[in-house]
Amino acid sequence: MRIAIPLTEGTLSLHFGHCEEFALVDVDEQAKRVSNITKLQPPAHEPGVLPRWLAEQNANIIIAGGMGQRAQQLFAQNGISVVLGASAHTPEQLVHDYLVGILETGENICDH
């Protein structure tokens, strides 16, 4: 499993389209642990670009603070599950919490 997390200053960017970089976190699902983290600069933010790019990076899941409805649809079309409403934590903390079933999510902070 590979989880994508948009980052600003090392923690979750509350709106994925405005992030500085993406952490791509490779996970050993059986052991429920992180096996590798790669940080990449995303391409310029334009409608539809990030879902395709993350699919090319083999992401299966994106954890985000907020995301518009259209982006959610594009991620689904690219085979990427979306987890919304996460708080600004480090990729390691977010993935750990997700894997053990304690990731706290709130409302989607994006309204477009």
What pLDDT was estimated at residue 111?
A: 57
What pLDDT was estimated at residue 21?
A: 95
pLDDT in tens, 11-61: 999 877 778 999 999 999 888 889 999 999 999 878 889 999 999 999 999
Closest CA to 13 of 33, 42, 52: 42
At 107, the pLDDT band (50, 70, 90 cuts) reads confident
What pLDDT was estimated at residue 112?
A: 52
Kindly list the structural domains of the chain, giving each domain's residue range(s) and its CATH number in brackets, ordered by start.
Answer: 2-99 (3.30.420.130)
Collapsing DSSP to helix, strand or coil, 92 comes out as helix
Mean pLDDT rounded to a whole number for the chain: 91
Mean pLDDT to the nearest integer, 88-104: 94
Mean pLDDT to the nearest integer, 60-76: 92
The C-alpha R_g of the chain, in whole angstroms, comes to 13
Q: How far apart are CA 59 and CA 38, in angstroms?
A: 12
